[in-house]
Structure 1
Amino acid sequence: MTQPSPVAIYGLGNMGYPLAERVGRQFPTQVFDLDAAALQRAQAAFGATPIAAPSDLAGTRTVVLCLPSPAISQSVLQQIAPHLPRGAVVLETSTVNPEHIHAAQKLLAPYGIDVVDASILAGVGQMVAGTASLALGGDPAAIARTQGVLDAIASKQVYFGALGAGAAAKVINNAVAHAVMIVVAEAGAMATAAGVDCQKLIALLSDAQMGLHRPLTYRYAERIVQGDYAGGMPLDAARKDSVLALQLAQTLGVPLFAIQSSHSVYDMAAAAGHGRDDYAAVAKLWADWGCPTVPPAA
């Protein structure tokens, strides 16, 4: 039986180590990290071979990057690209922007090497448990050449499109999560000050027909995608509710940032004449600014 080609993994940090461990169950692995203890741990746990020099990669057809910054990824690629065989594929699992993926491809192309964005949509616990997801972007042929490694990392994979699309999806997902975190913190502070039970608030906000879900699964997925703003809850009514929330926070002495700034958008949408439309019509502002929230109809 032919021994599979080794997979090189750069970065054995909080996410990189469990990723390498998953790959190491199915493939011979080569690993690199500045932390000698992490290298020793990988050797002991799944027989990984430390990378002593870039020349060690002469027979390596798949490289996985799981690194702290785009600059570090670029530096690693500059060092290893001349030593990889033609037809090799680099899987960039680090959180980067599309511009960094394109820069990597520009660097690798002269050597006949492809890059695929395989952004991790999960926390460390999910990677350990095997429930992580990957947001993929790039040449389907390059993805096919590394499908076994991708499957070892995460069985759930979503192909978002051309090179950089997976990275963009990851960054957008994180942006939403981080912004919602501020809104949730503000909501928790208001609830605590108002004597609202926090567990009941969590149940309310997580209800599929209310709270956090409805703006995405109904107003964006149906109203905005279909351009249907007739009927529904008028923007003027949503703006009125937003005023009440600001007044409540002021009465309770709770500082607001995200909720406060969001109210300004409702003011602008009302001033633009969208007051009687469903409040999803705030999306019309972005279209007016030349940044539509959905692609134009074909």
Structure 2
Amino acid sequence: MRVGFVGLGLMGLPMARHLIAGGHQLFVASSSSQPLEILAAAGATVCATPREIADQVDVFFSCRVTPEQSRETFLGADGAIQAGNRELLCVDLSTIDPETSKAIGQALADRGMGFLDAPISGGPDGAAAKTLSIIVGGASADVDRAQPLFDLLGKKTFHMGPIGAGVAAKLCNNMITITTHALLAEAMVLGVKAGIDAHRLYEVLSASSASSRSLERVVPHHFLKRNFEPAVMMATVVKDLECAVDTGRKLGVRLLLPNVALQCFVEAAGLGHSGDIASVILPMEAIAGVKVGTS
């Protein structure tokens, strides 16, 4: 199959490599030279714009970050919609808001093109290991068409309903995990301020009702090791929570805890902590006058 891909970051690059390894002819574009060099060496064709890609492929993936970037990729002046390929299926792997996904899907449908919102969960490690969860909104026929490619990228595909349902489900997931990261940071700072050894506190939490995947990710691998190198970027976290809060407001759903968590992450980012989501703990530590873990 002839496949296009833009958004060659921490998750996009390994996914693009899996598609090549799966025997597909890949067409890529990026403003960054390094991923293009890596993929070109593996056999990919480098293009200048999404429009150039869209004219040559059957399925076109985008794995960018913001709603604005998704609109640009698919609907912009050099976007996929400008191509003459009326058999094209566009797939957005980004976590954005349902309203934007529906608008993109409708605009593409007006040109005879298909669209799936298919946000992914599992992080860079999942992208590298091909264990992502792919959460899809769109027509069943389009999901079936993309499924052989999804199978190369993840361990399970969830078809949630029409366009917009995939990103809505992903926002629910991210709202929980991101808010939990802020709460875990507060709990660890409180425990250390109360005189508890951070490693012992983690052992208790891990063996008790507070145990979760988020705890197992952020406490031993980030808080205790003082590791704030970006795996999940702070800017991405803020964007995800903003999309969730905005969607809740439009649907008349009160989202108190995510709004509070959003302020914690905005504060951390505003103080220059732009690395991993774990950086949310740094202002909390500064206020309390303690540090959780050792470098």
Q: Name the TM tier (shorter chain).
A: 0.5 to 0.7
Aligned to 1:197: 197
Deviation readout 1:195-221 (Å, 9 max, x if unpaired):
2233333233334x61256xxxxxxxx
Q: Does 1:32 align with 2:29?
A: yes
Q: Does 1:63 align with 2:60?
A: yes
**Distance between the aligned counterparts of 1:101 and 1:57, measured in 2?**
18
Aligned to 2:18: 22
Q: Does the 8 Å CA contact 1:59/1:84 hold for their aligned counterparts?
A: no
Residue pairs, 1:75-224, within 5 angstroms:
75-78=72-75, 79-207=79-207, 210-212=209-211
Q: Root-mean-square deviation (CA), in Å?
A: 2.2
Shift of residue 130, structure 1, vs aligned partner: 1.7
Deviation readout 1:253-293 (Å, 9 max, x if unpaired):
xxxxxxxxxxxxxxxxxxxxxxxxxxxxxxxxxxxxx7599
**Distance between the aligned counterparts of 2:81 and 2:191, measured in 1?**
54
**Distance between the aligned counterparts of 1:189 and 1:92, measured in 2?**
38
**Distance between the aligned counterparts of 1:115 and 1:189, measured in 2?**
45
Tell me the matched-pair count.
212
**Distance between the aligned counterparts of 2:205 and 2:136, measured in 1?**
30
Q: Secondary structure at the match of 1:182?
A: helix
The structure-2 alpha-carbon separation of the partners of 1:37 and 1:210, relative to structure 1 and needing over 3 Å to count, comes to closer
Aligned to 1:243: none
The structure-2 alpha-carbon separation of the partners of 1:210 and 1:170, relative to structure 1 and needing over 3 Å to count, comes to same
Structure 2 gap segments, 5+ residues each: 213-251, 256-295
Deviation readout 1:168-205 (Å, 9 max, x if unpaired):
12222122111111111111011112222333332333
**Distance between the aligned counterparts of 1:57 and 1:103, measured in 2?**
19
Greater radius of gyration (CA): 1
**Distance between the aligned counterparts of 1:55 and 1:182, measured in 2?**
42
The structure-2 alpha-carbon separation of the partners of 1:96 and 1:206, relative to structure 1 and needing over 3 Å to count, comes to same
Deviation readout 1:60-108 (Å, 9 max, x if unpaired):
1100001122112211212221315223211110111111110111210
The structure-2 alpha-carbon separation of the partners of 1:292 and 1:37, relative to structure 1 and needing over 3 Å to count, comes to closer
Q: Does the 8 Å CA contact 1:95/1:119 hold for their aligned counterparts?
A: yes
Residue pairs, 1:264-279, within 5 angstroms:
none
Shift of residue 56, structure 1, vs aligned partner: 4.7
Compute the TM-score of the two structures, normalised by the length of structure 2. Answer: 0.66
Q: Does the 8 Å CA contact 2:4/2:53 hold for their aligned counterparts?
A: no
Q: Structure 1 stretch 140-149 or stretch 84-93: which is displaced more?
A: 84-93
Q: Secondary structure at the match of 2:119?
A: strand
Aligned to 1:9: 5
Q: Does the 8 Å CA contact 2:130/2:152 hold for their aligned counterparts?
A: no
Q: Structure 1 stretch 194-203 or stretch 67-76: which is displaced more?
A: 194-203
**Distance between the aligned counterparts of 2:131 and 2:111, measured in 1?**
34
Runs of 4+ in 1 over 6 A off after TM superposition: none
Compute the TM-score of the two structures, normalised by the length of structure 1. Answer: 0.66
Look up the equivalent residue of 1:114 and give its one-letter code: G
Residue pairs, 1:231-242, within 5 angstroms:
none
**Distance between the aligned counterparts of 1:12 and 1:105, measured in 2?**
22
Q: Does 1:74 align with 2:60?
A: no
